[in-house]
Amino acid sequence: MSIQKIIDSIIEYDTIIIHRHVRPDPDALGSQAGLKEIITQTFPEKSVYIVGEEDQSLNYLTRMQVIDDATYKGALAIICDTANRGRIDDSRYTLADKLIKIDHHPEVDQYGDVQWVNTSASSTCEMIYEFYLQAKSQGFHLTDEAARLIYAGIVGDTGRFLFPSTSKKTFQFAADLVTYNFDRPTLYTQMYSEKNNIAKLRGYILQNFKLSPTGVSSIKLTHDILKEYGVTALETSQLVGTFGDIEGICTWAIFVDEEDSIRVRIRSKGPAINKIAEKYNGGGHPLAAGATIYHWEDYDKVMNDLDKACRSYQVDKNH
């Protein structure tokens, strides 16, 4: 069983370095830092590090550490919440002695000496809590801070327990986690308070989105628009859910100008869209994925593919 192999590896190694995906979200950071918290509390003598680029807007969750290449010698590297090697933040994980993957995304890329992938988990944080439940009997500890981090990741990846990935287990784990001592109202404020420029850009999206007869919607956030609203490309990740409650919507995509490329954030209420994302240099979950295109001319191609997906989904549904 993968969990036991992970426990054994953590016990075996003195130096453990935990990575997660680029452009982190609360689940990536929560699983990374939550696991670190569990290990350091259980084994104070071990050296445990978390690495990757910081996103300033998520500094309330945790801060990254800077380590040199030599630290990887003879170390265990654990990668959280990352389906493929190309998305791992800090490629030095290859210098480690042993590699473990813990993830809930559909498998894009099989990597790691030990792989624990559970696509039915709502979040990698949910998996970290499950790991803890098994490790607990072997002396592992969960702190209030670990509970805060893991809870944040579950809340983030389930859209506050709203998305279909939210299961009975998700609620049971959340119920356990809220018995720990951390400030939930403050955490929610940190996660969901919206800067006024983001709120105004949300208004722009709601005023200007297009909705096709098949239920495909999109918005183009060009360099000029981002500049006008003073919003960075990274910050637009907060706006993907804006479309979610529009009546008749099937799939939608936000196209964000990132200067050298265009980031496409795709969501769906029915048809799987991760294969479409993969076609355009991306990937993800069946109902939530991301892609990258390099020319605005490809906008129509992505929209056509989403249109086809919605069309055949409607046909399947009606037969």
- Please report, as ranges, the residues that interact with Mn ion according to CB under 5 A: 27, 81, 123-124, 157
Give the nearest distance from C-beta 27 to Mn ion in angstroms.
Answer: 3
- Indicate the residue among 37 and 81 with the shorter CB distance to Mn ion: 81
Give the nearest distance from C-beta 316 to Mn ion in angstroms.
Answer: 28
Give the nearest distance from C-beta 28 to Mn ion in angstroms.
Answer: 6
Spell 75-95 as b/e; 16+ CB within 10 A means b: bbbbbbbbbbbebbbbebbee
- Indicate the residue among 37 and 257 with the shorter CB distance to Mn ion: 37
Give the nearest distance from C-beta 103 to Mn ion in angstroms.
Answer: 8
Q: How far is CA 288 from CA 219, 280, 302, 312, in A?
A: 16, 14, 15, 18
- Indicate the residue among 119 and 222 with the shorter CB distance to Mn ion: 119
- Indicate the residue among 7 and 127 with the shorter CB distance to Mn ion: 127
95, amino acid identity: L
Say if residues 272 and 289 touch (Cβ distance below 8 Å): no
- Residue with nearest beta carbon to Mn ion: 27
DSSP for 134-164 reads HHGGGT----HHHHHHHHHHHHHHTTTTTST
Give the nearest distance from C-beta 150 to Mn ion in angstroms.
Answer: 12
Say if residues 268 and 232 touch (Cβ distance below 8 Å): no
- Indicate the residue among 122 and 251 with the shorter CB distance to Mn ion: 122
Q: Token match 């807007």: residue?
A: 57
Q: Which residues contact 312 (CB under 8 A, 6 or more apart)?
A: 271
